[in-house]
Amino acid sequence: MSKKPLFKLGQVVATVNALTFANQHQIDLLGLLQLHHIGDWGNLCSEDKDSNEEALISGGRIFSSYQYETDKIWIITEADRSLTTILLPIDY
């Protein structure tokens, strides 16, 4: 894992559900975004982590998942790096 940004985020957006959940649980979304940006993919299986590593080379979609008590927060950067979305699984 690097401490430098590994890819472009593009426009960053968040769903209302993600913002509400983060506010209720005092979660630092900018901190999570920074983790995603430097390659800390959160709670992913090795196959999904490998997919992210390949996406850094091939330009595919990058996915992170951070587990909290009652839910997960997902961060997805699109393959073309134009958009990064912070969301809950129910938003997908």
pLDDT digits (tens, 9 = 90+) for 16-32: 999 999 999 999 999 99
Band the pLDDT of 3: cuts 50, 70, 90: confident
Q: Is residue 80 part of a domain?
A: yes
Q: Is residue 3 part of a domain?
A: no
Q: Is residue 35 part of a domain?
A: yes
Q: Is residue 65 part of a domain?
A: yes
Q: What percent of the chain has pLDDT over 70?
A: 98
Band the pLDDT of 2: cuts 50, 70, 90: low
User: Residue 20: which domain range?
Assistant: 11-91
Q: Is residue 5 part of a domain?
A: no
Mean pLDDT of the region 1-23? 93
- Half-sphere exposure (Cβ direction) of 34: Cα atoms closer than 13 Å: 6
The residues near 76 (Cβ < 8 Å, ≥ 6 apart) are 61, 62, 63, 64, 84, 85, 87
pLDDT of 69 reads: 86
Q: Is residue 77 part of a domain?
A: yes
pTM of the model: 0.95
Q: Is residue 2 part of a domain?
A: no
